[in-house]
């Protein structure tokens, strides 16, 4: 690690603030740094490494494909691209087509483009508007930044593309009021990731589906973090039994190999014409091989494994929440564990293997301080907001590793004075 931060500062854009650790190797749910120290990875590269680090099946698939054919561009046919698209269409429920790209932002950019192309073709030239949610995060390109419901991120890059409006997340009435005659699509995350794993009220996605269907506009669901089994189902929207018109994927799709996917119903996808969209690297044979191998690893875990380890993780986080303390001298009683006995403002949110532990407004230390303390104890978690810690371990995590991670997290919270 000696000198690496200084070397980085001299040659890389100053867009990241990193803790003083250099990871050099990963295996399963564990990482090792340049000093040989071992860590439990409960972030998974921000919900990317769902199959675990260096999974043999993924390594074998990528190595074999790269040794055979690494790239041809999209000017020619390649089998892995078609095979992956077939698998994704099947998981989406059939009658759909896929555009493959390199990242989540690109997947959402394609979704916005197809929505506008479809809107103009089906309902009129001015049907281009997109309604999104406050707190939502959809990427950092200019269009996806405009769709992102975090106004503080916008000023340095204005003027942003027009046509985007935002409503409170989880408020079906506000969503209904915002959809109008020039709306082409509603763009939502089933669960908001970067906002701190915000889970909407039950029935919200069903209401969004009804609202968009009645108005004749598209429902686009951003499943870049929530998809690929993260919530215990292949797609998070499957928990509510809805089918969107468009769904976007990335992150865990390639086990760390860059790939994104935009899946649209056939009717919507067929609004596009040759030359309307394209990519040099998207859907290249190696990325598709990585994605196909990743699917082979994670899909068997959705038959019960994720639900089982999720229950232990949730129970452990609720136990930690019961031990949280605040800045004031007032302390809630620790009696029968009822909600009234818990420190106000603290919360456990999430589903599957995707959770936030919110330390609350009275926390005597920040989530960043807690995450650094956890890192010092060999646990990788993320301060997704000022008060919330995000946990997204690989789906291959075991109950024993969950127990070990919770113990390390508890010790870190005690170290910074957040737990009694």
Nearest-angstrom CA–CA distance, 286 and 254: 10
The DSSP letter of residue 411 is H
Nearest to 413 by CA among 291, 332, 326, 285: 326
Catalytic-residue membership of 222: yes
Residue 74, C-beta contacts closer than 8 angstroms, at least 6 positions apart: 278, 279, 280, 282, 283
The phi and psi torsions of 188 (rounded to 5 degrees) equal: -135, 155
The phi and psi torsions of 358 (rounded to 5 degrees) equal: -90, 120
Kind of pairing between the strands at 218-222 and 30-33 = unpaired
If you write DSSP's letter for every residue of 267-282 in order, what string do you get? HHHTT--TTSS--SST
Torsion sign across C-alpha atoms 46, 51, 57, 61 = negative
Residue 171, C-beta contacts closer than 8 angstroms, at least 6 positions apart: none
Nearest-angstrom CA–CA distance, 352 and 311: 8
Strand order in the sheet with 382-383: 347-351, 354-358, 388-391, 382-383
Catalytic-residue membership of 99: no
- Other beta carbons less than 10 A from residue 377's beta carbon: 15
Which residue among 92, 137, 164, 169 is the active-site one?
Answer: 137
Catalytic-residue membership of 137: yes
Which residue among 222, 234, 235, 245 is the active-site one?
Answer: 222
* Residues acting as catalytic residues: 137, 222, 251
């Amino acid at each position: 690690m000696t000198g690496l931060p200084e070397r980085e500062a001299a040659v890389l854009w100053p867009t990241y603030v990193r803790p003083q650790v250099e990871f050099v190797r990963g295996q399963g749910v564990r990482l090792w740094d340049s000093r040989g120290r071992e860590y439990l990875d409960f972030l998974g590269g921000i919900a990317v490494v769902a199959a675990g680090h260096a999974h043999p099946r993924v390594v074998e698939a990528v190595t074999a494909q790269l040794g055979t054919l690494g790239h041809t561009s999209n000017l020619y046919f390649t089998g892995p691209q078609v095979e992956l698209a077939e698998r994704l269409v099947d998981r989406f429920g059939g009658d759909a087509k896929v555009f493959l790209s390199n990242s989540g932002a690109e997947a959402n950019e394609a979704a916005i483009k197809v929505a506008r192309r479809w809107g103009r073709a089906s309902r009129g030239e001015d049907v281009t508007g997109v309604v999104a949610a406050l707190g939502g995060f959809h990427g950092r390109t200019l269009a996806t930044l405009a769709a992102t419901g975090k106004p503080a991120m916008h000023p340095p890059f204005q003027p942003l593309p027009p046509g985007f409006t935002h409503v409170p997340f989880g408020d079906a009435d506000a969503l209904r009021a915002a959809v109008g005659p020039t709306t082409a699509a509603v763009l939502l995350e089933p669960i908001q990731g970067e906002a701190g794993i915000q889970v909407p009220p039950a029935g919200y996605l069903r209401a969004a589906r009804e609202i968009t269907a009645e108005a004749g506009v598209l429902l686009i669901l951003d499943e870049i973090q929530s998809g690929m089994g993260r919530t215990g189902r292949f797609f998070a929207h499957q928990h509510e039994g809805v089918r969107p018109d468009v769904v976007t994927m990335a992150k865990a799709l390639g086990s760390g190999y860059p790939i994104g996917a935009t899946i649209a119903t056939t009717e919507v996808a067929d609004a596009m014409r040759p030359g309307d969209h394209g990519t040099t690297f998207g859907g290249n044979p190696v990325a598709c091989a990585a994605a196909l191998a990743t699917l082979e690893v994670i899909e068997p875990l959705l038959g019960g494994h994720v639900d089982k380890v999720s229950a232990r993780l949730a129970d452990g986080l609720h136990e930690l929440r019961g031990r949280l303390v605040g800045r004031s001298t007032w302390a809630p009683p620790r009696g029968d564990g009822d909600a009234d006995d818990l420190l106000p403002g603290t919360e456990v949110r999430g589903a599957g293997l995707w959770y936030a532990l919110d330390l609350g407004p009275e926390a005597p230390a920040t989530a960043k301080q807690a995450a650094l303390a956890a890192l010092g104890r060999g646990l990788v978690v993320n301060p997704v907001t000022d008060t919330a810690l995000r946990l997204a371990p690989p789906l291959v995590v075991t109950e024993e590793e969950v127990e070990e991670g919770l113990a390390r997290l508890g010790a870190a919270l005690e170290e910074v004075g957040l737990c009694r």
